[in-house]
A and B are shown apart, each in its own frame.
Chain A
Amino acid sequence: MIRVEKLKKSFGTNEVLRDINISIQPQEVVVVIGPSGSGKSTFLRCINRLETITEGHIYIEDKDITDKKTDINKIRENVGMVFQQFNLFPHKTVIENIMISPLKVKKAKESEAKEKGMALLRKVGLEEKANVYPDSLSGGQKQRVAIARALAMEPKIMLFDEPTSALDPEMVGEVLEVMKQLAKEGMTMVVVTHEMGFAREVGDRVIFMDGGYIVEENIPAELFGNPQNERTKLFLGKVL
């Protein structure tokens, strides 16, 4: 589903990703952990080319997104992204936030987009908030709307960049719950998070990144229970 080969990314002279190789299967949930500045966000943002890729290749459903000829907008329709800071559109109501892309990008019919949008809101438990502006929502509600908005494009892959890090602790659960549900339905997911409980419970595989490399990867039970690399041990010792 996603194949990353020899991915390198630099900002100027700062080499942030040095050599990333990974292959992600359909319906797999991959959790990415690692210290601050290790390149987790950058890696995720390369997957939908929000960052230009310095070297290497990323294939999404066998299309090389580093190829100039690939229509990146088409690829992005299939790759939803959820941001730490939500990034809802403040000038649009909740339902408009969800409908805008199906309407403008997929040229969906207004009535159909609305119906589907309402169904998604129901799914994330926010049906009654359809007509309010994002300003009046709590952080947890905003993030659930952001997830619904991404799902409205019917993506095959969802990327999450620390979706609960900007939330008050009591709201973390409601967002993780939605993500668990999504995983259960078979969505392919790449999740950067500090929620080790979520990683253990939902992750099919956990990747530990440090210094621009994937230092260690394994099923959650193994990686958390029996880490091999010294740096992994050190990191887990701090966060667990």
Chain B
Amino acid sequence: MDFRFDIIVEYAPFFLKGTLLTIGLSLAGIAIGTILGLFIGLGKMLKNRWLSFPFECYITIFRGTPLMVQILLIHFAVVPFIIDDTNGIAAAIIALSLNAAAYIAEIFRAGILSIDKGQMEAARSLGMNHVQAMRYIILPQASKRMIPPLGNEFIILIKDSSLASLVAAPEIMYWGRAMNGQYFAVWEPYLTAAVIYLLLTLSLSYLLHRLERRLATE
């Protein structure tokens, strides 16, 4: 086997573009997934069974089916059904966000439930309403505990974004597969992709680790 660096060099600009898109997809997924996840997590915690039920269903469905199936369904079925057109990048962002939201919702819920209920009672006994107690007392404490599992989820999301190649969103794996198709090479494209993903996830781990340390010393 001779390892062809020349074809990697040839594809370098595409991998660079692909990396930018992977970062974009991940950031969009993290941002939308987190906001949606908070909302869904709070929804599942509603005391009224009828109100919390839809949120529970959402989480069950998105955690209980493969992301690959979700991406394909959204790209080829859901989006065309709604707007009569489709776009791989948009479909990937939607699928990644909706999927991450289900996991993030559970992370939020677990974080909030991990706070001793005496904290809420003390806040309420001081005259705070539920929203104030959540905002000033519960969430600040819960968010510290949520950082490690959220970081985990974000790393998973970066890796999962590779599935966007299935719907022709030109991210890292898309170019890897293109290179494989053109040269019938396997080591060069997929090792290159692996190294880039590793760099991305390691960078994120490092950032999260620093954030955790900063919050711990505060």
Closest B residue to A74 by CB, please name it.
B127
Flag A21-33 by CB within 8 Å of B: 1 or 0 each: 0000000000000
Question: Is residue A105 contacting chain B, with contact meaning CB distance below 8 A?
Answer: yes
The reply to whether B126 and A101 form a contact with Cβ atoms under 8 Å apart is yes
| Interface of chain A residues 33 through 49 with chain B (CB within 8 A) | 48
Point out the residue from A50, A85, A91, A101 that lies within 8 Å of B127, measured CB to CB: A101
The reply to whether B137 and A89 form a contact with Cβ atoms under 8 Å apart is yes
Point out the residue from B119, B125, B137, B144 that lies within 8 Å of A81, measured CB to CB: B125
What is the CA–CA distance of A102 and B132 in the complex, to the nearest angstrom? 12
Residues of A in contact (CB 8 Å), total 25
Question: Is residue B212 contacting chain A, with contact meaning CB distance below 8 A?
Answer: no
The reply to whether A87 and B118 form a contact with Cβ atoms under 8 Å apart is yes
Residues of B in contact (CB 8 Å), total 18
Cβ contacts under 8 Å, B136 to chain A: 100, 104
The reply to whether B126 and A149 form a contact with Cβ atoms under 8 Å apart is yes
The reply to whether A104 and B132 form a contact with Cβ atoms under 8 Å apart is yes
Q: Smallest Cβ distance from A52 to chain B, in angstroms?
A: 11
| Interface of chain A residues 88 through 111 with chain B (CB within 8 A) | 88-91, 100-101, 104-106
What is the CA–CA distance of A198 and B141 in the complex, to the nearest angstrom? 36
Cβ contacts under 8 Å, B127 to chain A: 73-74, 76-77, 101, 105-106, 153
The reply to whether A89 and B125 form a contact with Cβ atoms under 8 Å apart is no
Cβ contacts under 8 Å, B122 to chain A: 81, 83, 87-89, 146
What is the CA–CA distance of A137 and B144 in the complex, to the nearest angstrom? 22
Point out the residue from A73, A79, A85, A91 that lies within 8 Å of B128, measured CB to CB: A73
Question: Is residue B129 contacting chain A, with contact meaning CB distance below 8 A?
Answer: yes
The reply to whether A153 and B121 form a contact with Cβ atoms under 8 Å apart is no
What is the CA–CA distance of A79 and B129 in the complex, to the nearest angstrom? 14
Q: Smallest Cβ distance from A49 to chain B, in angstroms?
A: 9
The reply to whether A90 and B125 form a contact with Cβ atoms under 8 Å apart is no
Point out the residue from B116, B126, B129, B140 that lies within 8 Å of A153, measured CB to CB: B126
Q: Smallest Cβ distance from A6 to chain B, in angstroms?
A: 24
Q: Smallest Cβ distance from B10 to chain A, in angstroms?
A: 54
Question: Is residue A121 contacting chain B, with contact meaning CB distance below 8 A?
Answer: no
Cβ contacts under 8 Å, A89 to chain B: 119, 122-123, 137, 141
Question: Is residue B177 contacting chain A, with contact meaning CB distance below 8 A?
Answer: no
Given contacts A91-B140, A104-B136, contact A83 B128 (CB under 8 A): no
Question: Is residue A150 contacting chain B, with contact meaning CB distance below 8 A?
Answer: yes
What is the CA–CA distance of A116 and B92 in the complex, to the nearest angstrom? 55
Closest A residue to B130 by CB, please name it.
A73
Q: Smallest Cβ distance from B210 to chain A, in angstroms?
A: 20
Question: Is residue B159 contacting chain A, with contact meaning CB distance below 8 A?
Answer: no
| Interface of chain B residues 64 through 119 with chain A (CB within 8 A) | 116, 118-119
Question: Is residue A80 contacting chain B, with contact meaning CB distance below 8 A?
Answer: yes
The reply to whether B128 and A101 form a contact with Cβ atoms under 8 Å apart is yes
| Interface of chain B residues 118 through 158 with chain A (CB within 8 A) | 118-119, 121-129, 132, 136-137, 140-141, 144
The reply to whether B141 and A90 form a contact with Cβ atoms under 8 Å apart is yes
What is the CA–CA distance of A236 and B154 in the complex, to the nearest angstrom? 60
The reply to whether B125 and A48 form a contact with Cβ atoms under 8 Å apart is yes
Cβ contacts under 8 Å, B124 to chain A: 50, 76
- Most chain A beta-carbon neighbours within 10 Å: one of B122, B127, B128, B137: B127
Closest A residue to B141 by CB, please name it.
A91
What is the CA–CA distance of A46 and B195 in the complex, to the nearest angstrom? 61
**Shortest beta-carbon contacts, A-B, top 7:** A87-B122, A77-B127, A101-B126, A87-B118, A81-B125, A105-B127, A76-B127
16 chain-A/chain-B pairs, Cβ below 8 angstroms: A73-B127, A73-B129, A74-B127, A76-B126, A81-B121, A81-B125, A89-B123, A89-B141, A91-B140, A100-B136, A105-B126, A105-B127, A105-B132, A106-B127, A146-B122, A149-B126
